[in-house]
Structure 1
């Protein structure tokens, strides 16, 4: 297992050894990523939100990446995408993501909709295991990161991954300027 410099006080184990620490769709997707270094660490679910997590576990905020689910309509069809951005930035929903989805207006998907569609808990949604066909828009700063802490599909754990892994996921597109 990789020695994660960003782990802080977390106890990290290979994700393949603890499928109980990830959402069901994430566990299924992890089976196809066996060659990649992916760690998982159990956390207090009340500390899952990025700022609280970083403070509690001494993990650097600059090494946290958030997955946001964005939706937009075109011709009555709702189009979804996931955007991976560093926690220190904000997704450019109104310009970059809206244009990529080819919709008139894009916004964050409602919480209940995002949870129902992904099979993951709000605050733990991750790009690993998203519905087939969803574009995964990865900010270039995320793709270039050697180590990242991301959601695991549940609030009770975090995944540790590389930006290269996120950029290589099915449906992933690295986009310069996705986040500001």
Structure 2
């Protein structure tokens, strides 16, 4: 199965919902997630976006997993890096090799980082999987985002999907 984000954005139950509402929901929850710095809120936002994407919009769970798989790899690598190379608290695990150890505050930081990234990316996924890119860019134009920013966003979007089509994901 080839992943076609444009097809998914055009064929789900939330496609006809006003794009301004979807942008406000996605960006509002993402900003609140970044401001609050609360693990429980991050988990709730991730779960809420999952319910909206899979349950309400009726986008298949397999498509959602495919969408989130690449950022998940980078998130996991980042959290592993945080585990081994950050922290100053109590040692949870010691490798006895060049002082590499996992400390409690590094575990906490990795967990907070993981869920914060997934909460924010789920908000972007909600917007990207339920709203066609033309509507998003038109909405940005209406709210007076500079034209050069919109053009760059469109070029990046096209380049990413040309690349994905070439590597046949």
TM-based fold match above 0.5: no
Give the alignment's TM-score, normalised by structure 2. Answer: 0.32
Question: Whose RCO is larger (CA < 8 A, sep 6+)?
Answer: 2
TM normalised by structure 1 equals 0.30
Q: Which has the higher helix share?
A: 2
Query: Which structure's residues are more often strand, by fraction?
Result: 1
